[in-house]
C-alpha cells in the first residue's frame, strides 16, 4: 500500500526531498487540495505579493501572482469566477529542476491549491503540480472531474447504483478526510454517522483487488484500524492472498465491532 506524505509539509519541498518523493497522483492532488479548479490564466499581476509561506513562518516570500479564470470548479470555488495563484520565479540563470512551474497568460490548466491564511492568494503545494488542460491529458482531467459530485454531495455519491462508484466515492472521501493537509496542527472531528456508515459499507462491498490511488486497501490504510477497535489485521501465509484476507476481516469487523465505529476527519487545530 502506498503512503502519501502530509500535504502541509509539501509547501516547503526542497530539491533533496523532491528527489526522494514522487508527485501525488492527480486524483489525490484534487482530493487533498483546499481548492481544485480548471481554468485559464488571464493575467500575471505586475507587482509581487509578499506573504509568509506557512503558519509560523518568520520571513515573507515574494510571490508572482497569476489570475486564473475558473471554468470548472471541482471543489472549493463555488460561485467564484477567478482565483489568484502565487508562485516563485526562479532567479535568472538558475535551473529550477524541482521548482513548481511558472504560470503563463493563456495557459489552460488544472490547479490543486491551498489557501494562504494571511494573504488573498493560493499556492500550488510541492507535490501537487498543475496538469495542463490538453487533449493528451483528457483521461486524467476526466478522473479529476469525476470527484466534483462526490465532494458536492457525499451521501448521494455513496448511494450510487454501482458498487464500484460507491467504493470510489468512499475512498476519495477518506483520502480527503484522513490525509493530513495541516502538518501536525490538527485535531479529529467525527463525521456524520450516516456518512460514516455509508463509507464503511461501500468499502466492504468493493473489489479489493482493485488498484490505483483510490483502491480499497489504500483507503483502509488511511483509517489505521487496529486491535484497539477490534480489527485484527491478517498475517498472510505464503501463497495466501493478502487482499482477500483483508477484505474478509474488514467485512467481519464492519458487521461486529465496527458497527458502532465513527470515522473521524482531520481538521485544523484552532489557534
CA distance 27 to 175: 10
- Which domains does the chain carry? 7-145 (2.40.50.120), 153-268 (no CATH)
Tens digit of pLDDT for each residue in 46-96? 999 999 887 778 899 999 999 999 999 999 999 999 999 999 887 665 555
Q: Is the per-residue pLDDT at 182 higher than 80?
A: no
Is 259's pLDDT higher than 70?
yes
Cell of 77: 470555488
**Number of CB atoms found within 10 A of residue 197's CB:** 18
Average pLDDT along the chain: 88
Counts for the chain of helices (H) and strands (E), in that order = 9, 9
pLDDT digit string (tens) for 106-164? 999 999 999 887 779 999 988 899 999 999 999 999 999 999 999 999 999 999 999 99
Q: Give 75's contacts (C-beta < 8 A, 6+ positions apart).
A: 30, 33, 35, 36, 147, 148, 151, 152
Q: What is the number of alpha carbons within 13 Å of residue 5 lying toward its C-beta? A: 17
Question: CB count, 10 Å around CB of 122?
Answer: 25
DSSP state of 23: P
* Predicted confidence band of residue 184 (pLDDT cuts 50, 70, 90): low
State the pLDDT at residue 99: 67
Contacts of residues 169-173 at CB distance under 8 Å and 24 or more positions apart, as own/partner, are: 169/202, 170/198, 170/199, 170/200, 170/202, 170/203, 170/206, 170/219, 171/203, 171/206, 171/214, 171/215, 171/216, 171/218, 171/219, 172/27, 172/31, 172/147, 172/214, 173/199
Amino acid at each position: 500500500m502506498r503512503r502519501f506524505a502530509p500535504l502541509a509539509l509539501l509547501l516547503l519541498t526542497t530539491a533533496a526531498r523532491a528527489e526522494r518523493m514522487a508527485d501525488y497522483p492527480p486524483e489525490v492532488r484534487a482530493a487533498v487540495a483546499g481548492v481544485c479548479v480548471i481554468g485559464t490564466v488571464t493575467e500575471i499581476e505586475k507587482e509581487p505579493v509578499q506573504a509568509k509561506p506557512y503558519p509560523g513562518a518568520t520571513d515573507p516570500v515574494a510571490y508572482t501572482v497569476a489570475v486564473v479564470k475558473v471554468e470548472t470548479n471541482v471543489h472549493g470555488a463555488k460561485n467564484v469566477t477567478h482565483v489568484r495563484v502565487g508562485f516563485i520565479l526562479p532567479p535568472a540563470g538558475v535551473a529550477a529542476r524541482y521548482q513548481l512551474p511558472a504560470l503563463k497568460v493563456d495557459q489552460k490548466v488544472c490547479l490543486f491549491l491551498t489557501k494562504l491564511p494571511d494573504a488573498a492568494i493560493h499556492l500550488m503545494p510541492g507535490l501537487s503540480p498543475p496538469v495542463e488542460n490538453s487533449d493528451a491529458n483528457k483521461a486524467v482531467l476526466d478522473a479529476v472531474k469525476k470527484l466534483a459530485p462526490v465532494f458536492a454531495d457525499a451521501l448521494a455519491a455513496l448511494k450510487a447504483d454501482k458498487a464500484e462508484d460507491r467504493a470510489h466515492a468512499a475512498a476519495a472521501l477518506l483520502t480527503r478526510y484522513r490525509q493530513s493537509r495541516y502538518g501536525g496542527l490538527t485535531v479529529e472531528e467525527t463525521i456524520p454517522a450516516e456518512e460514516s456508515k455509508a463509507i464503511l459499507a461501500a468499502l466492504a462491498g468493493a473489489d479489493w483487488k482493485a488498484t490505483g490511488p483510490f483502491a480499497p486497501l489504500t483507503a483502509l490504510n488511511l483509517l489505521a484500524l487496529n486491535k484497539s477497535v477490534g480489527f485484527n489485521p491478517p498475517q498472510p501465509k505464503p501463497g495466501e492472498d493478502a487482499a482477500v484476507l483483508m477484505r474478509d476481516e474488514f467485512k467481519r469487523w464492519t458487521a461486529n465491532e465496527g458497527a458502532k465505529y465513527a470515522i473521524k476527519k482531520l481538521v485544523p487545530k484552532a489557534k
